[in-house]
Structure 1
Amino acid sequence: MSINQSIFIEKSVGKNGINQPFDVEIIKKQLNAQMPVSYSRLMINGTCDSNTIDTIIDFQKKVLGFRQPDGRVDPNGKTLLALNDPVSSVKWNKNSNQVINGQWTGDSSRWSQTKKLQSLNPVFRVKVQNVLDALTQRGFQPKIFFGWRSVSVQQELFNKGRSKVRFSFHNAQNTDGTPNAYAADIIDKRWGWEKKAEDNGFWSALGEEAKKQGLVWGGDWTSFKDVAHIQGRQNSELAKTKQESGL
């Protein structure tokens, strides 16, 4: 996608912004044009969702060097000026490629939605984004609770009886130790795992949309139902995935 060097918005877009639909579409298109190829593209519509805000924050950090990014694009502001500059694409790509293992530490359930998406295997990531977009179109407010998670966290879940395995598709990684997860836990941010999620049809909708993408839905399992869980590989491939991860 080519970069438009003269975009204009009437009102602010992003966190605590006015978020006029046509302004939001303009910013989303420009972010998609500027962002690194490894990133999942934003769905072009007039809704300023959490992914949009996270992407603006990521742009402000890596391109503008903001220590405290506000997640908002203002008319004639620094962020808008940078979005109009083709050089920003080079900066964003360069700084995003400078990934070190230390960036993947901490509680991964608290990472931003953008970072959780980036922790997924690239092919699986596209399918997860499609699931999120489809659920949003159906009126839900989906978010990733877990993308990648460490083996130590997996062990804790196993010890608490919240997982049947010591290694899961959540733990998959590249040979350099960076995340490459084949699993994601998705919830509606209004309900989490409360009964309201089931009563409002979220889990069944998640299963439907996941299977449309050719993914496995944990809600279909009989021995251990995991309604929030979707994965990009069959359970029979778990040992292979662990070996590929060097674990």
Structure 2
Amino acid sequence: MTKNRPFLFVTVIILIGLIYYVVNNFSLEDQPMPTQLHPLVLEKSDQLIEQAEQKGITIRITDEFRSIAEQNNLYEQGRSDPGSVVTNVQGGESYHNYGLAIDFAIELEDGSVIWDLSYDGNQNGESDWMEVVDIAKELGFTWGGDWENFRDYPHLQMDFGLSIWELKRGKRPEGMDETE
């Protein structure tokens, strides 16, 4: 037992330091949940639509801000509710819940939408989907298709350097008017 005392002492000191750091740097802030897209995400989303149109690609934003209740309902799809699983995260765990994400689809001439990553409607030899993704990345979005675990091809987000953990604790990006 006496051989383990230095190890135990160091472990306790490290834990106390970690707790102190977390409490002082990541304490809960009394911030209301956003109720709409962040203004910059909205602006860049509009630019995405315009720039895609200039390339002969019509896109539709199929989802944007989502309340926690909406996220929970979506999470139940394919689990306790009928349908296919479309998300792996519950309410509060999605950037949609903080107004920082959008989903898109390719809109066809008849008004229907597709999620076909190889479709080349503007017939330039390139996937319309990937052309849109390239535009989105140039505008500052991160693409869910680049994720390792759950590739979310319609998903685009701007996290402003904030993790879900920080957002859940009340951190908000600059420019978000919480009173709206």
Q: What TM-score bracket applies, with the shorter chain setting the length?
A: 0.5 to 0.7
Measured in 2, the distance between the counterparts of 1:150 and 1:126 equals 20
| 1:136-155 alignment, distance < 5 Å | 136-155=53-72
Are 1:214 and 2:136 counterparts?
A: no
- Give the counterpart letter for 1:243 in structure 2: R
Decide which of 149, 154, 158 is 2:75's aligned counterpart: 158
- Give the counterpart letter for 1:187 in structure 2: A
Are 1:225 and 2:151 counterparts?
A: yes
Runs of at least 5 residues in structure 1 that lack an aligned partner in the other structure:
1-103, 105-118, 173-180
| 1:1-247 alignment, distance < 5 Å | 119-159=36-76, 160=78, 161-166=85-90, 167-172=93-98, 181-190=99-108, 192-195=113-116, 197-200=117-120, 201-233=127-159, 237-244=163-170
User: Which string of whole-angstrom CA distances, capped at 9 and with x for unpartnered residues, describes residues 162-212 of structure 1?
Assistant: 21211211111xxxxxxxx000001122253443x5322232122101110
TM-score, length basis structure 2: 0.59
Q: CA deviation at 1:218?
A: 0.8
Contact 1:216–1:234 at 8 Å: present in 2 too?
no
- Structure label with greater radius of gyration: 2
Measured in 2, the distance between the counterparts of 1:163 and 1:235 equals 22
3-state SS, counterpart of residue 157 of structure 1? helix
Contact 2:105–2:115 at 8 Å: present in 1 too?
no
User: Which string of whole-angstrom CA distances, capped at 9 and with x for unpartnered residues, describes residues 64-89 of structure 1?
Assistant: xxxxxxxxxxxxxxxxxxxxxxxxxx
Contact 2:107–2:114 at 8 Å: present in 1 too?
no
With CA pairs under 8 Å and 6+ residues apart, which has the higher RCO, 1 or 2?
2
Q: CA deviation at 1:149?
A: 1.3
Going from structure 1 to structure 2, the CA distance change for 1:152 and 1:188 (only over 3 Å counts) comes to same
Runs of at least 5 residues in structure 2 that lack an aligned partner in the other structure:
1-34, 79-84, 121-126, 173-180
- Give the counterpart letter for 1:163 in structure 2: T
Q: CA deviation at 1:133?
A: 1.1
Q: CA deviation at 1:148?
A: 0.7
- Give the counterpart letter for 1:218 in structure 2: G
Going from structure 1 to structure 2, the CA distance change for 1:194 and 1:217 (only over 3 Å counts) comes to closer
**Aligned equivalent of 1:31:** none
Query: If each structure's helix is expressed as a fraction of its own residues, which one has the higher value?
Result: 1
Measured in 1, the distance between the counterparts of 2:136 and 2:75 equals 25
User: Which string of whole-angstrom CA distances, capped at 9 and with x for unpartnered residues, describes residues 6-38 of structure 1?
Assistant: xxxxxxxxxxxxxxxxxxxxxxxxxxxxxxxxx
